[in-house]
Each structure stands twice: as C-alpha cells, then as structure tokens.
Structure 1
C-alpha cells in the first residue's frame, strides 16, 4: 500500500511511495506527529539520480523488518534536495560541522522541534568498512532518545545555537579589483592539474564557473596562463569518459583524476553551464573541438531532457537495467570489444576500439570500457567516424534507458535558456534559440506570478508548492537577459526586472548581503546563506551578475549599487578560495570592464543590422550586454534615443550609458569591442 509520498509531485519522493517505510513529506504535520508520539524524526535527503540514494533505499527502506522498526520508533521524513535546497542546506551544514564531510543520501535525526542531534550520510545495512550498520544506528538513536532524552535535547539545542550564531563575516566593502583577481588566478594556477586538466585530484568535477572566469580574465588582461588552463581543461574533459562520446553531454563528475570513469548521472545544470562555457571558448579561440562539444551538448539537452511542456527535465539516472534484470551504474553507456563487434563487425570494431579506447581489460567494471578519445586517436576519415558513431548510438538507443527526473527546476532552466540562446546565435541554430524562448515562456506561464514571485519546480505543466530560492530568481533573470540580447525582445528584460525587484526587496540586507531564502519563506533552524559556488553558481553571485547586466540595459543605479555591494564577498573570498567563488570572480571581471553596452539600431530585416548584431554577440568583452531594435524603439532603455547614421544601421558602444560615436561598419565595431578596448 502506498505511503503519503504517493500524493507528492517530486519524482524522487514518488520513487519511495511504495516503500514499507511510513514516509512523510517535509511538513508541519510530520513534526506534530513526532511530538504527539514523543519520538524523534528521521530526516532522509536525496535526489532521483543519486546512485547511493538508490542503494540505501534498496538495502534499508525496502526492507520490511527495517521499515517496521522505523515505523514503530520514528517519524520518517523524506526530502528531495532539488525541490527543497533550503532544507538540504541547513542540515548539510550541520552534518559537515559534525562529521567533517557531507553527501547524499543525507541521514539526520531530529527532535520534534526539527533540531538535529545525530548525523550521517549513507549507512550500509550491516557494519562495513568502519561504518555502523543502519539498524545499529537506529537502535542506538532510539536508546539515547529513551534513556537520555534531556541530554539529547541539550545537544540539539547547542547545535542549533552554534549554527544560528554563525554569521558571514565579510570585511570587504568594495568589489574586487585587479589585485584580488590576479591573486585568484595565482590560486587557481597552484591547484591546476597541468598533466590532466582540471583542478585538484579525484574525484574531479567539471569547473564550469572557473572556466568562465579564466576566459574573461584572459580577455581583460591577455593572460596566456588563464587561457591555457581553460583550453587544457576543456580538451581533457571533451576527450575523457566524463563526456558522452556518442550522444553528447556530460556526466556529473569523474571518480578519478584522469576524467576516465564518470559517475554516470547527467544533470541539466552541468550540461547547461558547460554548453555555454564551450561556446564561449569557441568564441575566444575558434576551437573546432569547442564548437562540436557546445553543439552536441545543446543537442543532448534537446533530445534527452526536453519535456512536452517546453522545459528541461532535471537529470538522467546513473543506473539502468543491464539487460539481464540487474540495475547497474553505467550500464547504458559502457562497451566491451565483443559488443562493438556485434554492432560493427570485426574490421570497424577494431578501429572503434582504438578510436574510443575500448580494451579487453576494460576501464570500468566487468571488462567494460567507458568511451574516450585518447590523444593517440586514429585519424579516421570524417565520414567513417560519423557512420560508426551513428551505428553505435542507434544500438545504444535499444538498451534499457536510464530513468529521467522530469521535474522542472526554475534555476536550472534559467541556465539552459542562457546557454541555448547564445549557442543558437553563435552557430546559426534558430531551433536552439526557439527552444530557449519556449523554456522562458514556460517559466513565465507556470512558475512566475505577477508579483515577481517564482515557484521552485513544476511537473507536467503544474507548479510545485515550494517557493523559489535566490538561485531561481538569479539564474532565471540571467537567462531572460541573455535571451533579450539574442532576440532583441525587451519583454525579457522587463521580466528579469520583476524578478530582480523581488531579489532586492526580499533577499537582500541593507549592507548588500544576500540570503538564499526570502524574508517571508518558511522559517528553519537557520536562514541559509552561502555565497560560494557548488555545482552551480551560488545564488548570491548569480544575483550579482544579473543585477549588473540589468543595470547595463536600463541604467538603474539601484541595481548596479546592489551588484557592487554583493561583490564585496568576492573581494574577501576570491584570493583565498577562487575555485569556490569563480562566478563571482567572472562577474567582477565584467564590472571592471564596464560592462560594455552595445546598442544596435536598424531595420530588423536589413543585412547590415544582422551583421552588427552578430559582431556584438561574438565579442568576448566580459559581461557585455547587447540590445538590438528598430530606429525609435523605446522597448529597451539602452536603445532610447539611438538613431540611424546616414540612414544606415548603426552600433553604439557605451559604458554606463556614455557612448562612443556610432559606427555602421562591423569591422570597426569588432575593433572597438576587442580585448582591452
């Protein structure tokens, strides 16, 4: 018989709806039930494509005796961290403070007042590798609750007090200048893996926001070191197993330092961020590899993640059926030499094995290999490569597919809007621009109200019940502003302004600090506040970037001042921890550059208007904003008062709405927008 999760919309919660555990969703009613019964709360946090979440579910939450023990002695609450990032953040902070590490599934025991007192992540069913078994943990917590409840309560209250007393101490009151950005570059240089690309060791995550900072820093300063780190990292990832060599798109991370074996889940946010980063690398260097990866990643998102409503699903699972009934990580993606021969025949299979690094020993498990493009790749004729890839992809499509989490997360769809709009513009792919527009329409129709408030998620065209957090407002505004630059449609700037007004009114303190939740959001044991990047830009720095761009389009001093105040935290943290605040560093590069503003005025159907517009979009000037419109257009403030020049389309290059003389020549415009101009 299904439990209470059967009534939820989160695909992750629905995965647990048939567990014998009597799960509750996060709700006041769950904690009221714990108070009524006088029992502690088990809080279990995960997400649908989390491999170890599935493992723990199968081992423990599907086990009848374990479920019966939980049901008798606890109130069990299941949370989708992607749906409730605020709940995840405050308890993950407690887990990390108590244990020195974190991860998912996250397992926390709470009092009926939601105060945490015992912490962990994955627990095996029996003691293993120095970890206690889950049943042991449950029995220990129950005994402590029964025999030493006053002591447990004191511990919980102290933890909450310690968390609440933590405040973000930011001494800097100004945005970072050239000195701080140079210090950040030096810090990245120390962490850079010059042999294998990327930063740090295993596991190795795609450094999307760091790539953006490095490219912008190279443009502003001419730093070859910055460009070399970005280029080497992008090439290593594109050749590695973290990149899907057949279907395009990136896995969440590599478990090793060589990018060989991925954790196979594919997330929308990674692919949106990396699509945009590779498109920007192509814009800066003309790299054919960067062009191919950007387009393949965009096509992957359209093919695999796009929903019927016009948005993008959150993720694809790491696990899938291996064809024999086993649910195995990576089964959909890996190959053996025998499988290659079955699809391609002996001759082409031998070439494919060499081209993709497939060996008899294998690079993964049970003799299977993750496809790569080794440095020693055979130089096949292009048509042969395309034929082999197509045949292998067609054969893979017949395998049981990984599950898909169909919920639409506002923030991640905002990232996808920006990536697809720009990639479509750079590579003359109007279908990608249309996909970005469709997604933006969905966000406005389903997620957004006319007071400028956002719902965090939706499913099947219906909004979820959870309020948007700061990253939702910031990333959607960023996507809208990028779309406005590509399409010339000022309505997207208006919608971005509505969202950023909410950011200023509901998320921002007078001194410029930002919280991750609105001032009228559900009160938790601590109001979450984190300016550092994780897998995506932090809401704090993403808001700074969107506020800065909006100010450039509209001339709003209020928004620019808010962006500058928000960047004070980057001054403090950038030189010390550049990998964890890289998007803030990228926004700071835009601030130092102006950012530059380009207003292109001319008839929409005039070839010269299109040439000037494309030249502006292809500029590498950090954070540049572009407006295009008919003469006399007032739709975008940056266009106001701009006229044709000698009856011809013209472009105006401005900073802070102060403009150089207009030009009608695309080459002249390119020169004005060049590095250091």
Structure 2
C-alpha cells in the first residue's frame, strides 16, 4: 500500500510513500482538502540525509495508531526542504520566532490559510527528558482547534504579519567598504578558535565562505592573521574525523569543537564550497595538504555523487542499517581483520583508533602526515576496499541547480589550477544537464531539481539562477563557448526582472507560487544566500561586459548583506568575499587564442573573483573586443575597468603582471 507521495520525484518524499500517514505533497490539493474539512494542517519538513528525520519517521509516521490519529484530525503535508527552500524558509522563520530554535525535522501546524500557529522540530513517540510525546502534542492541538479556534486564527495572522514585515524591510543603502572589510576580519579574529581552528564552539560547521573571504582579504591586504586563520582551520578540518580519510569528502559538521566526530551526512554544497576553498589555499600557499584535499574531494564528487546523467547528487545519508555513521567508523579489531598485523598496529596508532565514537568504534583521523606515504596509500586503499562490503549509505540522487552551479565553478577552478582536465569535463557535463533539462528554453524559467534526467515541478529560487549563472561564466572563461555566456546573461537578466523589486532582492520569483509572505534572507548559512551569489554573478558579468546595469545590480545585492556583515561577519562570508573583489578593483583577464599555460597562470595567480576568458579573437563578448594574437601567438591581456596592460605571451610575464 502506498500513499500520494508515490508520484513524487523527490527521494525524500519517496521514502515516505509507504507510510500509513495519508501524506499530501505541498500544493493546492492539500489546502483545498483542509478548507473542505476545516481541519488543521500538519506540515512536516525534512530532507533525505537527515538523521532525526528518519528517527521521527520510524517512531511516528510508520506507526499505525499515530498515523490513524493524524489522518483523522489533520491534513498532512510532507515537504523536501531541498526541493522547496522557499517553503522551508518561511516556516523555519516562524519556528525560530516561536520556539527560539530551529532544525529538521521541522513540525509546523497551520490553519487552512497556511498560517502557522504552533511550531516545533523533532517530537519523540514517548514523553522523555521533559519533552511531550508527539501524540500528546497532537491531542492538545486538536483540543485547542475545537475550543480555542479564534485564538489560533489570531496567532496565525499575527505571525504572518510580523514575520512578513520583518523579512521584507529591505536592505537599505549601506555598502561594504574597505573599512568594513577590515573590521569584519578583526571581528572574526576575536571569534577564532586558536587551538582547533574554526569559529565559535561546538557544533562546528565548516566555515567555507568565511575562509574564502579571509583568503581574498589576505591577497588584497597581505594580512598574516587572515591567512593564519585559514591555514589552521583548513588543516584541522582535513586531519580530523569530519573528513573521510579513506575516500575523501567532508561530512556536514562536527558535533564537537575539535572536528573529531562528524554528523556523517555528506552534502554536495559543502564539498563544492570546500573544494573551492582548498583550491584557493593551494593557489595562495602551495601547501601539499591543500592539493591532496582538492584531489581527494574532487574524486569523491566524481565517483560518489555524479549521476548517470552527468549531474551531481545532493547528498549521502548519515545512516546505514539504522545507525548513524556505521559505514565510516572502525574498531581496532576490524582494522586487524582487514590488514596484516604490523600494518594494522601502525594504522591504529596513526589514525587514533581509540574509541572516539559509539560502542568503542572510532572515526579515522590523520593528525599528521605519515612518514611512509606509500605505505599509507596502500593500507588506505585496502581499508577503502574492505569498507565496500558494508551497507552503503543511501544517496539522495536529485540534482539541485544551485548546488550543481557551486560544483561547476569549483571543479573548473580546481581542474585548471591543478592541471586536471577531467574535472573541467565533469563540470561541463553537469552544466549541460542543467541547461538542457532544468532550463525551459521557451520561458527562460529554471527548474530547481531533476531526477533521472526529468525536471521536477518546483521552479528555481534566486540561489539557483545566480549559482548556475556563475558556473556558466566560469566554464565560459575556460572553453570560450559563447553558449555558456549567453545562458548566464539570460539567467541574470531574468533575475533582474523576476527577483528584484524597488532595488530589493527576493528569494522567489515574481511569477512564482504566492506564499504567506515572499521570503528574502541575505544570511549566508550552510550555503551562500541567493543575494550574495547574485552579487558575485553580477560582478563577474559586469567585468565581462562593462555594463553599468550589472555593476549596479551587484552593488544592490551587496547592500542587502551590509548590516549582517557589520554585525555578524560569520554569516556574511560570501558577501564579504565579493566585496573584497570589488574593493580591490575587479581584474579582468582576456586570453586571445588557446594557451593552457596562460590559462593556468591566470586562474592560479589572479585573485578569486577575477573575470577570466580564454577565447578566439573576435569572440562576441565585450572583454574580448580588439583582443588579437601577437605574432600569431596566444597572449593574455590583464585589465581593470577594460583598461589593459600590454599583452604578454609568456606565462612568467603574466605571473609578474598579476603579482
């Protein structure tokens, strides 16, 4: 027996198709039914790789008695937050406002008009640790719905009015100038953990966007403090248990402050962002560990997240066989069973197999480089092969446009900087999938997701347009294929038409489904905000075209983040990084003709955020206008505001100009 979710494309929704709960997907049908029955709505929001989402599903949604009560008294809607970030953003704002905290699974109760009147996250099946049971919560809400309906409707209306007004207040006229960038770096220094790296205490999330900002800040100012924070954090993350020492790739976050025990799910956006950070660290400092992490993380993306259609899947689950992290952790006995005794003893000491996780098992760490690198690679391969006999984590194989855009940009940069053309080829394959499957050529609308080569029903939000546009521009810079430039420009023109009103950016398009309020959030959280991604893409496009319109669009986008950047720079990392590029005076590099050597020097030695194009003379892009070969040789033109230095054919001469 299956429910309505059997027709969904989201892997998360499909996980619930066999529940006895009579689930609806988000849409008109569910709200019409709630109005017909005059019943409250139970909205459950989660995602495929979410551990506690699975726990609540097993405890409550698979329980026949709980399902029967839900079906009798509520209209139940299940939402994949990764497929509908707009719905998630609205009701997460309500949850945080009403409870003081948020998270997933998110459990929100709505009126038939979609107004929230009670919010929470995980509710246990049985009351414990001062938490009411899920059934107790349901019964109290049913009683209130019957006896205090007027109060409930009033709560819902007030929440919508107050949060809608707060979110749509606008960004103002503030700008992020050089003085504010310097203050942001100083504020980050006070929040920096000098022992274990990162910022703040446990749990620790990888601060990808802040590290990007600090690297760009170092390049502009020469700040040793900025570089020190990056190096220490990157090294500690890479050597801890949050990084998969056997197969590459980072887990979502560390539950402790030392990067030892991760929350084991692996997200595409984290690994794309971190791949880009470690590539930039390698370009700045040439540290061997940076190059190793770039190669291993890129390999993880290509082998474990790439889909048959050429895109990149959203995530790997934390759980296998009902236990979090079971696929990744080891006991000493398991190490000895997989390796000869002398190798096993060496690995147990090297990787601190001393019971850092549950049931005496350990996550593998690599706190220092082994003296015998060849031996480590040999035993690493053996352990990786032995691990394949375990149940593999579930994979959420939907392709998200925004996160693939991040991966495209990161893989192109890594591929050129490290001389790995297979990375660029993989990025081009993902871009082609998004262009042909997600992008509606008739309307210009971008679908947010696809699965098995079929576009999902949800349309893209601001982050999808901006991240994919930036990916297209980065790819165009390498191969000179005008299609990618035209695609990016069309996406960003539509962004100005659909996502900007009175100079203010919104996360949903003007022609999108009307929700209880139109979300706009400039905060960089686990992934960059749509508006900071838009600032970056418009800045790049302005550099390629010289368009004042696009330059103004980038400045307007940055102004939305200015207040957060001043108050809490940890949550404005991408905006600060883009502001650094603008503060330095954005560079443009035009390479006339084909020269892998010049291209590699440009990507490696120019600051991140530089607009780079390698194309044949006469390419229909303003930056390439008048750029010709010299003595039939490819040459590079280094420009600012379309004012260029003398063209140079030699990589060393280009490196000197960029220094």
- What stretches of structure 2 of length at least 5 have no aligned partner? none
- Mapped partners of 1:206, 1:539: distance in 2: 19
Pairwise CA distance, 1:170: 5.7
What are the equivalent positions in structure 2 for 1:563-574 lying under 5 Å apart?
563-574=554-565
1:12-23 maps to which residues of 2 (within 5 A)? 12-23=12-23
CA RMSD of aligned residues (A): 1.2
CA distance in 2 between counterparts of 1:307 and 1:648 reads 40
Q: Which residue of structure 1 lines up, in the alignment, with residue 288 of structure 2?
A: 288
3-state SS in 2 of match to 1:301? helix
**Within the alignment, does 1:332 sit opposite 2:323 as a pair?**
no
Q: What is aligned with 2:620? A: 635
Structure 1 residues 267 and 508 mapped into 2: Cα distance closer, same or farther (>3 Å)?
A: same
Per the alignment, do residues 623 and 193 of structure 1 end up closer, same or farther by CA in structure 2, a change over 3 Å counting? same
Q: SS where residue 314 of structure 1 aligns?
A: strand
- Which of 319, 336, 353 pairs up with 1:341? 336
Is residue 408 of structure 1 aligned with residue 413 of structure 2? no
Structure 2 residue 471 is the aligned partner of structure 1 residue 492: no
Does the CA-based 8 Å contact 2:329-2:364 persist in structure 1? yes
Tell me which residue corresponds to 2:214.
Answer: 214
1:370 pairs with 2:363: yes
- Residue 470 of structure 1 aligns with which residue? 462
**Number of residue equivalences:** 658
2:345 maps to 1:350 = yes
For 1:650, the equivalent position in structure 2 comes to 635
Residue 101, structure 1, aligned to residue 101, structure 2: yes
Q: Secondary structure at the match of 2:502?
A: coil
Q: What is the alpha-carbon distance in structure 2 between the residues aligned to residue 317 and residue 167 of structure 1?
A: 32
- TM-score, scaled relative to structure 1: 0.96
What does 1:166-315 correspond to in 2, within 5 Å? 166-169=166-169, 173-315=173-315
CA distance in 2 between partners of 1:486 and 1:643 (Å): 17
Structure 1: gaps (5+ residues):
322-326
Residue 171 of structure 1, CA deviation? 6.7
SS of aligned partner of 1:406: strand
Deviation at 1:649, TM superposition (A): 2.4
Q: Say whether the 8 Å CA contact 1:220–1:622 is kept in structure 2.
A: no
- State the 1:157 CA deviation: 1.2
**If the length of structure 2 is used for normalisation, what is the TM-score?**
0.98
Question: 1:598 touches 1:651 (CA, 8 Å); kept in 2?
Answer: yes
Question: Secondary structure of 2:518's match?
Answer: coil
Report how far residue 614 of structure 1 moved: 1.8
- Structure 2: distance between partners of 1:471 and 1:251: 22
Match of 2:531? 540
Partner of 1:324: none
Other-structure match for 1:505: 497
- Structure 2 CA distance for aligned equivalents of residues 288 and 228 of structure 1: 16
Aligned to 1:613: 599
Q: By how many angstroms is 1:202 displaced? A: 0.5
- Separation (CA, whole Å) in 2 of partners of 1:610 and 1:466: 40
Shift of 1:610: 2.7
Tell me if structure 1 keeps the 8 A contact 2:416–2:599. Answer: no
1:571 Cα deviation after fit: 2.9
CA distance in 2, matches of 1:349, 1:538: 45
SS at match of 2:590: strand
- Secondary structure, aligned partner of 2:129: coil
What's the counterpart of residue 673 of structure 1?
658
In structure 2, the residue matched to 1:441 is: 432
Cα deviation for residue 645 of structure 1 reads 2.8
CA distance in 2, matches of 1:460, 1:18: 21
The answer as to whether partners of 1:600 and 1:649 remain within 8 angstroms in 2 is yes
Matching residue of 1:594:
585
Measured after TM superposition, the shift of residue 168 of structure 1 is 4.9
Distance 2:229 2:620 in 1: 40
